[in-house]
Amino acid sequence: MQLEARNITFSYGKRKILSDLSFTADSGEIIALLGRNGSGKTTLLRILLGFLRPAAGEVLIDTRNSLEMSGRERAKAVAYIPQSSEMVYAYTVLDTVMMGRAPELSLFERPGKEDKEKAEEILEDLGLTHLKERSINAISGGEKQLVLIARALTQDAKILLLDEPTSALDYSNQLIVLETLEKLRSNGYTIIFSTHNPEQALMNATRVMILSSNRTPFIGKPEDLLDGRILEDLYNRELCIKRIDTGRSERIICIPR
């Protein structure tokens, strides 16, 4: 599915956060969203999700204005995946994932056999079956993040918006989450994730968007960042950005000079 932001402008009171922002995210793309704290990443994700209404501009999902869609239709197209640390209720993993079926159900209708089978199938795909009866609070942060991704997939949404999906995770779990996103991308999902790690944007995204409070947003390919200028400007640091051959694949690293 295609997600398009067209001429989005948004302010909190007098404070302008986004100004005339336009971009398109297509099926099979991962867009990494970089920006300093307060640059508007979360605000943008909320607008794309339909939680916040822009002052001007529109969000189109497969060319349809998302605000003209019902909440249920929108939920079947776009899913928001919060940081794993935001889950507070002690549901089981299976129940958490089944909540993704809510947009399919009418008010007070309980999930049925098919909903359970769908949730179980997705848990299996993500290698989480062994955790299904555990409380969401009794699994690791990385597993929790994967469970939240599973919930979004159970929702049937093909556009996934993730707010700093790796921020609370150890390195190994970060890699698992990023590899899962890559698998979903290659299966045609449209993914946008925010991150504070420029290497993730360079290595794991097909395109990068950089928000900044005093500059026009940058949208381009990871290769466009190789000369370092844009990231040095963003972080106000001299950086060394290099392509390296790991022996198995070509990667891009970013380290301070």
Smallest gap from Cβ 18 to ligand ADP, in A, equals: 9
Phi, psi for residue 130 in degrees, rounded to 5: -65, -15
Name beta bridge partners: 35.
211
Q: Residue 229 in contact with residue 241, Cβ under 8 Å?
A: no
- With tokens 């848990």, the residue in question is 123
Report the interface residues with ligand ADP, using CB under 6 A.
12, 17, 35, 37-43
Closer by beta carbon to ligand ADP, 37 or else 249: 37
Closer by beta carbon to ligand ADP, 83 or else 154: 83
Length of the chain: 257
Smallest gap from Cβ 151 to ligand ADP, in A, equals: 22
Smallest gap from Cβ 155 to ligand ADP, in A, equals: 23
Smallest gap from Cβ 40 to ligand ADP, in A, equals: 4
Smallest gap from Cβ 158 to ligand ADP, in A, equals: 24
Beta strands 159-162 and 78-81 are parallel
The residue type at 78: V
d(CA 243, CA 251): 6
Q: Residue 8 in contact with residue 59, Cβ under 8 Å?
A: yes
Q: Residue 186 in contact with residue 220, Cβ under 8 Å?
A: no
Closer by beta carbon to ligand ADP, 180 or else 195: 195
Closer by beta carbon to ligand ADP, 39 or else 154: 39
d(CA 177, CA 126): 10
What is the 3-state secondary structure of 139-183? CCHHHHHHHHHHHHHHCCCCEEEECCCCCCCCHHHHHHHHHHHHH
Smallest gap from Cβ 83 to ligand ADP, in A, equals: 11
